[in-house]
Amino acid sequence: MSKTVPAVAPVAKSVEVPAAVRDAIAQLQMEYVHAIDNDELERWPQFFTEKCLYQIMPRADYDQKRLIGVWFCDNRGMLEDRVSSIREVNVYEPHVYRHVIGPTEILEMKDGVCRAQTSYLVVRTMHDGEMHVFSAGRYVDEIVMEGDTARFKKRMVVTDSWRYDTLVVIPI
């Protein structure tokens, strides 16, 4: 954790992004969490481009560039398979998530790819009604426009904790 303190730490400049793109990104971030939380999982793969990357990994691994992660999907078909097995197999203890996300910070816009980060908290509610903080962290995303629609080319779910409940069944 010890670092050299820079003489002058810069305040980041807000990245120039057309208003329509900014709105589409905000819409994407919002629909993504609503679809998961409100049991519309079938919509989840559609938030990604056909060829894509979805990973969940602890922050320590992300910082050390050990980008393996707990989940790894690199195309939309894998995401759809995930949804099918959640719907069909359904052996896990039923539970639901509730995400609350903060505002999205756009870090860079380059060659039509927007890098962005968004903080999230997830509260999980179990079948017996018990609630607990299940995950806290941030999304580190690469987003592209396909027509009027913003989609994730890459979504890294970087979790603050390295501990995972036995199984992350539902995507974060």
Q: Does 82 participate in binding a copy of itself (rule CB under 8 A)?
A: no
Query: Would you tell me how many other CB atoms lie within 10 Å of the CB of residue 123?
Result: 16
Q: Which is nearer to a copy of itself, 58 or 154 (CB)?
A: 58
Q: Does 132 participate in binding a copy of itself (rule CB under 8 A)?
A: yes
Query: Would you tell me how many other CB atoms lie within 10 Å of the CB of residue 159?
Result: 25
The answer for residues whose C-beta is within 8 angstroms of residue 50's C-beta and 6 or more apart is: 75, 76
Q: Does 11 participate in binding a copy of itself (rule CB under 8 A)?
A: yes
The answer for residues whose C-beta is within 8 angstroms of residue 99's C-beta and 6 or more apart is: 33, 36, 37, 120, 121, 122, 172
Listed residue (157, 165, 159) closest to 32, CA to CA = 157
Q: Does 12 participate in binding a copy of itself (rule CB under 8 A)?
A: yes
Please report, as residue ranges, which positions from 84 to 123 form the binding site for a copy of itself (by CB under 8 A): 84, 86-88, 90, 94, 96, 98-103, 105, 117, 119-121, 123
CB of 142 to a copy of itself, least distance (A): 17
Coil, strand, or helix at residue 143? strand
Residues in the site for a copy of itself, rule: CB under 8 A?
1-3, 5-6, 8-12, 14, 23-24, 26-27, 29-31, 33-34, 37-40, 42-47, 59, 80, 83-84, 86-88, 90, 94, 96, 98-103, 105, 117, 119-121, 123, 125, 128-133, 135-138, 149, 160-163
